[in-house]
Structure 1
Amino acid sequence: MLDLLAIVVPVFLVVGAGYLAVWRGLFKDSAVDGLMVFTQKFAIPCLLFTAIATLDLSAEFDLWLLVSYYGAASACFAFGVLAARALFRRPWPDSIAIGFAAMFANSVLLGLPVTERAFGTGALGPNYTIIAFNAAFCYLVGITTMEIVRAQAKGLQLLRTVGNAMFRNALMIGIGAGFLVNFSGLPIPIVAQDALDLMIRAALPAALFGLGGVLYRYKPEGDAGTIVFLCGLSLLVQPGLTYALGAVGGLTTGQMRSAVVTAAMAPGINAYIFADMYGVARRVVASTVLIGTGLTILGAAFWLAILP
């Protein structure tokens, strides 16, 4: 158990350092916004661009890997929506935001560093395959369902709303550019790659520190039952379903590790961004992001103990 915690805890120590720095006034709250803009719109897109551009798609792309991960994510979205509506009596828009949080694991800021520390940099190929579709899939499901429930957009207007949300996202732009380079076979100039590498080295540490600062804003309050339920869906049910589907589909050891570890991560900041975009369930989702991120220390250790 101590060996497993030694893998996971350093990641969360960096998150905790960011939380502590903002709490004690050592790092201004406004500086956190600037740091997160740098990581989310520049450094991490560079990381994803390079990873996708150099990914051996013939070796890493596996349909059942995506079915295992996104089948479990879709099930948790449905469970979250229905439970929020039937058990917790939330309005439909709130329920959609709660289901979105259950579906959207923090695949980049937590999934990548935990997988890398546990299994090494060479194990990240399946992670990048999952991440390549994550924002597009989750926003497609979430926005489409929300717009249908709210009856705010139909037909072409609905497609335009979904498209704008996805293709103005810097992470999606980095992933799309990476696929273009990968498919075209064009080499990245050495000087350009050296510059990208400088950005990449800053991406995850800065993002983890910034995540801690962002989490300081989200004070857990009220809606305890919904928060506990949502944490259980995110940290236990989604990785459990992913593991079961992966076993049925015969995923390799490396694919199973990446899929389950990614699924076991707490909801990401994008879950709060989605709730804030529609002005619904913000307190529940923000509290779940905060509490779930802390619980991920134990959850990740549990799943790492189970994985081969």
Structure 2
Amino acid sequence: MLDILSITGPIYLCIAAGYASVRWNLFSKGDMRVFGKFVIDIALPALLFSALASRPLAEVFQPAYLLAYTAGSLTVLLGALLWSRLAKGKGLTESAYVAMGMTCANSGYVGYPVMLLIFGPLAGVILALNFMVENLIKLPLLFTLADAGALEGERPSLPKVLWSTAQRLARNPMIVAIALGFGVSMLGWELPSVISRTVTLFASASGGLALFIIGGNLVGLQIKGLRGQVAGIALGKLVLHPLALWGAVSLLPMLGLPALQGDLRAAAILSAAMPMLGIYSLLAGRHGYEGFSAAALLATTAASFFSLSAILWLMRHSAGWLG
């Protein structure tokens, strides 16, 4: 168990440090927003670009991983929408954010540091693959559903909603970084050392600072009166999502598709086991649902210490997935 704690311990100590720094007024919640903007707009894009541009295309493009991660995530996404709409009677917009909480993992702020501790340099490739599915498939789909639900009474034009989503993606620094990184990798270019070292300096700032921000943003969040919905979202994210990924990676070879092996197989399941993305409540706030989303973020991030430790223990004792 100590070897598992050696992986998860530093992650949650960084989160605890961020929480303590805001709780005791070393930094403010406003400072966390500034730090977060730096990580999202500069550090993580630099990391993604560096991870992709420094490797051959065959190494960074993993169709089996993308297929498994997409299939498992969309299965839970559809189930979450049906649960929220039919069982809970929620509207389409709120249901979209419930599904976002269950399926959109914190690949950058929590996932990358965990992968870095376990898989080393491969963590950058895993992060890029996860971001491709998150930012090109899941988030655009959920944004489209949320916007369509918000405009239900206005009979919105589908092309208008899709155009708005496409514009948002085109302005996303992480999407730009993925495109540029793939371009450099495909062309086989070698970046000048002064450029690559500069990018590496910014990329190295992403891991610890991202976790620190998560902790700072947890200060002051409340879950009173939202326990049922929050528990459902947490269960979906921490249990159903990784189970769906386990099912997807297991089914690939049965369907005659390339099988995921070793590190990538473990990484796909671990990626799904991360808590939801750190800006979840900010995104849900666009339509006034920051309340339950912030509460779900707090509960899921806290519970993920135990669920991640359990999954890592199971993997460590199952066919040597983690060495």
Task: Place the TM-score, normalised by the shorter chain, in its bin.
Answer: over 0.9
Contact 2:48 2:177 in 1 (8 A): yes
User: Cα deviations across residues 63-85 of structure 1 (Å, max 9, x unaligned)?
Assistant: 22122111111122112222122
- Please list, as runs of the form range in 1=range in 2, the aligned pairs for 1:162-181 lying within 5 A after superposition: 162-181=165-184
TM-score of the aligned structures, taking structure 2 as reference length: 0.89
Go from structure 1 to structure 2 and tell me whether the alpha carbon gap of 1:76 and 1:304 turns closer, same or farther (over 3 Å shift). Answer: same
Report deviation, 1:220. Answer: 2.3
Report deviation, 1:54. Answer: 2.0
Secondary structure of residue in 2 paired with 1:113: helix
Contact 1:106 1:265 in 2 (8 A): yes
User: Cα deviations across residues 198-239 of structure 1 (Å, max 9, x unaligned)?
Assistant: 111211111111121112242222221111111111011111
Secondary structure of residue in 2 paired with 1:221: coil
Unaligned runs of 5+ in 1: none
1:135 equivalent in structure 2: 135
1:240 to 235, 240, 243: 243
> What is the alpha-carbon distance in structure 2 between the residues aligned to residue 177 and residue 60 of structure 1?
13
2:294 to 265, 283, 286: 286
Contact 2:280 2:293 in 1 (8 A): yes
> What is the alpha-carbon distance in structure 1 between the residues aligned to residue 133 and residue 33 of structure 2?
26
Contact 1:126 1:254 in 2 (8 A): no
- State whether structure 2 residue 310 is matched by structure 1 residue 302: yes
Report deviation, 1:271. Answer: 2.5
> What is the alpha-carbon distance in structure 2 between the residues aligned to residue 190 and residue 64 of structure 1?
33
User: Cα deviations across residues 92-150 of structure 1 (Å, max 9, x unaligned)?
Assistant: 21111111111101111111111221233345534432223321212221022223333
Unaligned runs of 5+ in 2: 253-258, 316-320
- Please list, as runs of the form range in 1=range in 2, the aligned pairs for 1:118-267 lying within 5 A after superposition: 118-122=118-122, 124-149=124-149, 150-151=151-152, 153-249=156-252, 250-267=259-276
Decide which moves more: 133-142 or 16-25.
133-142
Report deviation, 1:49. Answer: 1.1
- State whether structure 2 residue 11 is matched by structure 1 residue 11: yes
Contact 1:77 1:100 in 2 (8 A): yes
1:103 equivalent in structure 2: 103
Report deviation, 1:42. Answer: 0.9
Contact 1:84 1:226 in 2 (8 A): no
Identity %: 23
User: Cα deviations across residues 9-29 of structure 1 (Å, max 9, x unaligned)?
Assistant: 211110111011101111122
Report deviation, 1:193. Answer: 1.1
Go from structure 1 to structure 2 and tell me whether the alpha carbon gap of 1:67 and 1:142 turns closer, same or farther (over 3 Å shift). Answer: same
> What is the alpha-carbon distance in structure 1 between the residues aligned to residue 202 and residue 124 of structure 2?
18
Contact 2:57 2:186 in 1 (8 A): no
Contact 2:70 2:133 in 1 (8 A): no
For 2:311, the aligned partner's letter is W
Contact 2:77 2:99 in 1 (8 A): yes
For 1:21, the aligned partner's letter is S
Contact 2:108 2:210 in 1 (8 A): no
> What is the alpha-carbon distance in structure 1 between the residues aligned to residue 113 and residue 80 of structure 2?
27
Secondary structure of residue in 1 paired with 2:189: coil
For 1:264, the aligned partner's letter is A
1:94 equivalent in structure 2: 94
Query: Once superposed, what is the RMSD of the aligned Cα atoms?
Result: 1.8
TM superposition outliers: structure 1 runs of 4+ over 6 Å: none
TM-score of the aligned structures, taking structure 1 as reference length: 0.93
Contact 2:48 2:127 in 1 (8 A): no
Secondary structure of residue in 2 paired with 1:90: coil
Number of corresponding residues: 307
> What is the alpha-carbon distance in structure 2 between the residues aligned to residue 202 and residue 63 of structure 1?
29
For 2:241, the aligned partner's letter is Q
> What is the alpha-carbon distance in structure 2 between the residues aligned to residue 124 and residue 42 of structure 1?
15
2:318 equivalent in structure 1: none
> What is the alpha-carbon distance in structure 2 between the residues aligned to residue 105 and residue 264 of structure 1?
8
Report deviation, 1:186. Answer: 2.4
> What is the alpha-carbon distance in structure 2 between the residues aligned to residue 180 and residue 59 of structure 1?
14
